Structure 1
Amino acid sequence: MFLYFVKFKLFLISIILLISTSAFSSEKNITYMQILQDPNNLDLNLKYAQQQGKVGNFKQTISTLERLNMLYPDNVEIKLYLLSVLVQVDSPEKANTIIEDMKLRRDLSAEDLETLQEIEEELRDREPSLWNFTADVGFGATFSNNVNSVSKTRLKYDSGSIAAFTSPKHDRTESASIGITATRPVGEESSLLLNFGHTTSNQYQEADDDFQSYGLTIGLDTTLGNQSLSPYIIMSKTDAQHDADSFSLMLGVGGFFTVGERHSFSYGYSYSDSKANQNSEDTTADETNAIGHGYTFGYDLIITPIISSSLSLGYSDSDAKVDAGNDYETYEFGIGLNFAFPWAYIAWSASTSFNDYKAADSSVDSTKLRSDHATTTDIMITKAIGDIFPIIDPNRSLFINLSYEKTFSEANIMNYDYLADSFALSFSKGLKLN
């Protein structure tokens, strides 16, 4: 009973604080870009913190309230609101720091001081919960009009001779996935992430995309000066129904930093080791075993409270066991626009990649060294089901995703000169497990 009494008092404090701001008369969602555009707006930030708390994004709620606490250090209500959230998510270290700071204040009422003492006693007896567990589930379907990248002429080179491209073009793929994520804080500025994921895929006509895949990710989010860094390890295994099993290991680090309130820069490096087992269905699978290195650089700009843009550059190098047709370098440039409308999130992007191969493939054409470039354009729309049917999804945690992708590939060998597009429909939902 004591714990519920403390939480109820803090709940009343937070409600009084929210009602006292006129901005809360509107149900319009506040985006993070709006916060960056007007970081000192107390009403706007408080509503954003409330909205993030409703959908379970307590990390963003706490971050917003901590920033407001620095901007308005004399505002007791903000401190108590932040304290109520910290108690809710079992963050005793930060909660005790705020309690000690508030106990030193001389303008604190007797009732508020009594509340702080009660919370302090309750936290002292509570066993802290270091781990948070969440689950993400999704399912969807992709419809492709050129699933096998059939050339524009429906012809191809086969060991130097021209042959018909007999592979089917139209197909659909159905997939489902589930992921379990565990996170815990490491010190004051870092957090550890463990994620296990499983995906199943079924192709309707052919079997190239019939597989089961398993993945394990270990990551660390931390800061170094003004840099946010995320080193990671990703291990995966794919069981193909009619092909060799494949394994991959990737090590890497990503980082970003902000410049002012509208600009941010990101960068990353990855090392990968990919292997495939030979079997009766594919006796040459291990020829594609490769070591890869990848480098990325990105720039993001907030244009308006609703619109943001991004630019990206990438370079990767793959060195395979058998060079012919497998060793290549890729140079990539991309641009994107994001629209955070109150009624939906829309993302548009376009990228162009240039692939330079290092050795001719005699199974295709031994007289030509393959070189090609591909331009891919896609648009994605994401909408919370709860915005349409509040009864079905009151917490707005079930999302519908619609996307369309079109690829133009041009090459000096007709096999890789093709057009392809696809449409995908999927649903995803996040669940908090503790």
Structure 2
Amino acid sequence: MKKFKIILIFFIILIPSNLFSEISYNQILEDPTNLDLNLQYLKEQETKGNYKAVIATLERLSDIYSDNLDLKLYLLSISLKIDSKERTKDIIDQIKRSPTLTTAIRQRLDKIVSTLEAQDKQQDNEWVQFIDIGYNTTLENNVNTKSDSNSLYISDSLSNYATDTIDDDDYQNIGIKYGAYKQLSDTSNINFNVGKAFTRQNRDKNKENDAHSLFVNYNKQIDKNYISTFYTLNENNNIHESDYVVHSLIIENRFGLKPNQNVVLSGNYSLTDYRTDNVFTAAEDKNNEAQGLAVGYEYFINQNNNIKFKYGFNDYNAKLDSYGYDNEYLRISYSTRVKTINFNIAQTINYNTYDKADTFVKSDTIRDDEIKTNSISMSGSLNQLLNYEFLKNIFYSASYSEIRSKSNILNYDYNKDIFKFGLTKRITF
């Protein structure tokens, strides 16, 4: 029955609109106050993209039914769609004077006004600046990535993990970012942010670090091509592990096949530099240079639903060959929005083949892994979720990830589950 309903809905959507009788303008003139007739006419004209007729009819109806707030909200939605900012502001002012206005609608109107003001700033080529203050907590059931067999190879000898090896643990991250973005022209923009974060762990210490970050992004649209360049710098000062710095550069082109379909091509390059010291004397052996390519496809079912596919490969060349490997990956994701909540479901499969056997692990076997990650996440605004004005510009995120790794060396056969929850307060100025 459920399958039949889905097919029926699909069939109705695909039926040409001209199979149904349309309301003519003469019918409206003959019965101008018939609300049902006018609403049907509005829907037909909106489907055709005849927004001038829709606006004219809605303005006339709003005068006749001056207490009907729904008509004014309908007019507002059309005004937003055709990007008439001055008209939109006038309509908002009219709606705010309505005696039937609710607190929820007023809060929504205030948010629209704030968005329009931010867009005006961008159009004036001013930098829009912000500060993000965030708190995140993570729970893992295999924080030390123990193998399923609870054993591992060390220099070709099979050993068990120490009896006090910690499995379940949690760690917290507190961070702050300063950023800004600017509309350079009608077809280009730039944004950046710099940040600092602290991670502390409850039971173990391997995740603890102080991190610095820099992110720069430039976007340019040329016809149907939307070209983006991303540069990222991450400096990880680990407290109980070796420190390292990662430079990453990504160039991406999103080509619009159709209004709701894109093909995405990207290339990436990165450098990872580990810092050798008195404790971690061989850390620099992990230094690597990586380059890769990827191709993707995006299909937007509607405004709130989309499916994305991505296939790519990377080549990691390390100073010590046993740390170098070839990576091939496939990712599929589905995103949707239910009321005010954004949901994402994804699966990523990584295939890693290493360049040389690791004599510190198993000298007669070159490592080969398959790592499958299934994840589900949700995010949104606390203000929209709970409808409290004091929660404005506070955003939440929550996710669950299931990681299953299979390898030809039992050290890397493992399962782990990761839960994350975060809150971010954004201050814009």
Structure with greater contact order relative to length (CA < 8 Å, sep ≥ 6) = 1
Task: After TM superposition, give the deviation of residue 165 of structure 1 in Å.
Answer: 2.1
Match for residue 337 of structure 2? 340
Match for residue 417 of structure 1? 413
Equivalent residues in 2 for 1:110-149, closer than 5 Å: 130-149=126-145
Match for residue 235 of structure 1? 233
C-alpha distance after superposition, 1:385-408 (max 9, x if no partner): 22343335453x212222111011
CA distance in 2, matches of 1:394, 1:172: 26
Match for residue 25 of structure 1? 70
**Which residue identity is paired with 2:345?**
W
Query: For 1:287, what is the secondary structure of its paired residue?
Result: helix
Residue 385 of structure 1 pairs with residue 382 of structure 2: yes
Match for residue 255 of structure 2? 257
CA distance in 2, matches of 1:388, 1:79: 25
Unaligned ranges ≥5, structure 2: 1-57, 93-112
Equivalent residues in 2 for 1:46-195, closer than 5 Å: 46=79, 49=80, 65-66=82-83, 77=87, 88-89=117-118, 91=120, 130-166=126-162, 167-195=165-193
Q: Does the 8 Å CA contact 1:144/1:172 hold for their aligned counterparts?
A: yes
Task: After TM superposition, give the deviation of residue 129 of structure 1 in Å.
Answer: 6.3
TM-score between both structures, scaled by the size of structure 1: 0.72
2:363 to 366, 386, 401: 366
Task: After TM superposition, give the deviation of residue 79 of structure 1 in Å.
Answer: 10
Task: After TM superposition, give the deviation of residue 89 of structure 1 in Å.
Answer: 4.4
CA distance in 2, matches of 1:299, 1:342: 26
**Which residue identity is paired with 1:398?**
I
In the TM superposition, structure 1's runs of 4+ consecutive aligned residues that sit over 6 Å from their partners are: 21-24, 78-82, 84-87
The 1:235/1:387 distance shift into structure 2, 3 A limit, reads closer
CA distance in 2, matches of 1:407, 1:160: 26
Query: For 1:365, what is the secondary structure of its paired residue?
Result: coil
Identity %: 19
Task: After TM superposition, give the deviation of residue 26 of structure 1 in Å.
Answer: 9.5
Q: Does the 8 Å CA contact 1:149/1:420 hold for their aligned counterparts?
A: yes
2:314 to 297, 313, 316: 316
Across the two proteins, how many residue pairs are aligned to each other?
346
Task: After TM superposition, give the deviation of residue 210 of structure 1 in Å.
Answer: 0.7
CA distance in 1, matches of 2:320, 2:62: 69
The 1:367/1:374 distance shift into structure 2, 3 A limit, reads same
Match for residue 355 of structure 1? 352
Task: After TM superposition, give the deviation of residue 306 of structure 1 in Å.
Answer: 3.7
CA distance in 1, matches of 2:242, 2:215: 23
C-alpha distance after superposition, 1:52-75 (max 9, x if no partner): xxxxxxxxxxxx554x69xxxxxx
Q: Does the 8 Å CA contact 2:187/2:222 hold for their aligned counterparts?
A: no
C-alpha distance after superposition, 1:245-289 (max 9, x if no partner): 211222221221222232122222111111011112211111101
Query: For 2:190, what is the secondary structure of its paired residue?
Result: strand
The 1:85/1:246 distance shift into structure 2, 3 A limit, reads closer
CA distance in 2, matches of 1:279, 1:27: 68
Unaligned ranges ≥5, structure 1: 1-15, 29-40, 50-63, 70-75, 95-127
Q: RMSD of aligned C-alpha atoms?
A: 3.2
Q: Does the 8 Å CA contact 2:122/2:182 hold for their aligned counterparts?
A: no
Q: Does the 8 Å CA contact 2:76/2:88 hold for their aligned counterparts?
A: no
Task: After TM superposition, give the deviation of residue 85 of structure 1 in Å.
Answer: 8.6
Match for residue 209 of structure 1? 207
Pair member with larger Rg: 2
Select between 385-394 and 178-187 the one with higher mean Cα deviation: 385-394
Task: After TM superposition, give the deviation of residue 327 of structure 1 in Å.
Answer: 0.6
Query: For 2:321, what is the secondary structure of its paired residue?
Result: coil
The 1:80/1:268 distance shift into structure 2, 3 A limit, reads farther
Query: For 2:357, what is the secondary structure of its paired residue?
Result: coil
Query: For 1:356, what is the secondary structure of its paired residue?
Result: strand
The 1:402/1:185 distance shift into structure 2, 3 A limit, reads closer
